[in-house]
Amino acid sequence: MIASDVLTLPESLEPFREFFPDDVPPWEWIPQIEQALGSVKWLLMQGHSAIPAGVHIKGKVYIHPTVKLPPMAVIEGPTWIGTGTEIRPNAYIRGKVIIGANCVIGNACELKNCLVLDGAQIPHFNYVGDSILGQKAHLGAGVILANLRLDQANVPVRLPSGSVDSGLRKFGAIFGDHAEAGCNAVIQPGTVLGRKSVVMPCMPYGGVLPEAKIVYAKSEVRIIDRRF
């Protein structure tokens, strides 16, 4: 598996292209996020000039002038936020984050060490750490991208050809372009979703989901008499 199998780096992130080559496994992009941000000439960037009083910024942060900012949020650097993106109230961006154009970072969402490509939506109560979201990827409310195994060992990627060591102790998920997860799904470390694939709501999922596939859990619902 290589990055171009699941992701297309948009023109809006062209300044970072050298750090995210198409011909490497997509999880190799994750440690490159910090390197890409290290290449930014921060002093030359003309960022947002109207930061609301309740938006707390720490460190090296670039916010494009067209970004819609909320009354309150925390944004720590290094972070780069592209054109037309909307940051909603109580978002917490913890640093090592690159966000492309026209994305949504929503209420009470937490992001760290992640790459968010154009049009991706992270709208409600989500955690995204050590992960990549492809163009127009979407997380339903409450979706969590778990990024650390309970034993804290390196995270494997379970490819159809066999398990591969990612070399990463912290690795959440890679959502291909247009991939989605329904409300309250828990995505396990090292998960890769192919383009246009879907994890249905309220289920845990880990592994590699091929392009344009839907995974769901069939459960039994029973109604019984209540005894007093």
* Two structure tokens written together for 2: 């290589």
**Largest Cα–Cα distance in the chain?**
72
Catalytic residue among 48, 56, 64, 124: 124
Q: For residues 93 and 122, what is the distance between their CA atoms, to the nearest angstrom?
A: 12
48 assigned to active site: no
What phi-psi label fits residue 54: left (phi over 0), alpha (psi between -120 and 50 degrees) or beta? alpha
What are the phi and psi torsion angles at 80 (to 5°)?
Answer: -130, 125
Beta-carbon count within 10 A of 125 CB: 19
Tokens 């979407």: give the residue. 138
- The residues carrying an active-site annotation are 124
